[in-house]
């Protein structure tokens, strides 16, 4: 139940702006991946999801535990990665309309990794509550 709530309210709702962008521009032009995630949007959303995960894991109980430390470290790395990548791609956007297909792929991978890692943080938070 906790997981379902988290997936709906944090992950799916955070993707809302992309869906809105898709729906609004649908009639005007041919929509492709480049139009939806071509400005590094996934990096921004991934950073927000990571921050949520970090907030959940940042408890004394979880961090003193080796598993909590691993997940905290992973999320901290992911936050660094998303921020750095967004920094790179936003710089590119000064000269081009959309980021390169490679960067789009990276953004999808990093977003996926972020969701998995934050999901683990939610699971760990749930485990600690039980104990």
State the nearest-atom distance from the C-beta of 56 to another protein, in Å. 12
Q: Give yes or no for residue 37 binding another protein (CB under 8 A).
A: no
- Considering only the stretches 1-9, 24-32, 90-98, 103-111, report the one whose residues sit in contact with another protein under the rule CB under 8 A: 103-111
CB 35 within 8 A of CB 97: no
- Binding another protein by CB under 8 A: which of 36, 56, 103, 104? 103
- Binding another protein by CB under 8 A: which of 42, 54, 74, 104? 74
How far apart CA 7 and CA 111 sit, in angstroms, is 14
Q: Give yes or no for residue 81 binding another protein (CB under 8 A).
A: yes
Give the footprint of another protein on this chain (CB under 8 A): 65-67, 70-71, 73-75, 77-78, 81-82, 84-85, 88, 102-103, 106, 109-110, 112-114, 116-117, 120-121, 123-124, 127, 131
């Amino acid at each position: 139940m906790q997981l379902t709530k988290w997936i709906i309210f944090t992950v799916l709702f955070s993707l809302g702006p992309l869906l809105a962008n898709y729906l609004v521009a649908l009639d005007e032009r041919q929509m492709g991946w480049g139009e939806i995630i071509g400005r590094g949007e996934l990096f921004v959303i991934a950073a927000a999801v990571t921050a949520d995960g970090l907030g959940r894991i940042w408890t004394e109980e979880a961090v003193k535990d080796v598993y909590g430390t691993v997940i905290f470290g992973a999320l901290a790395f992911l936050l660094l990665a998303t921020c750095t990548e967004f920094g790179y791609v936003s710089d590119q956007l000064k000269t081009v309309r959309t980021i390169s297909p490679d960067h789009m792929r990276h953004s999808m991978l990093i977003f996926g990794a972020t969701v998995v890692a934050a999901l683990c943080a939610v699971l760990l938070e749930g485990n600690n509550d039980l104990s």
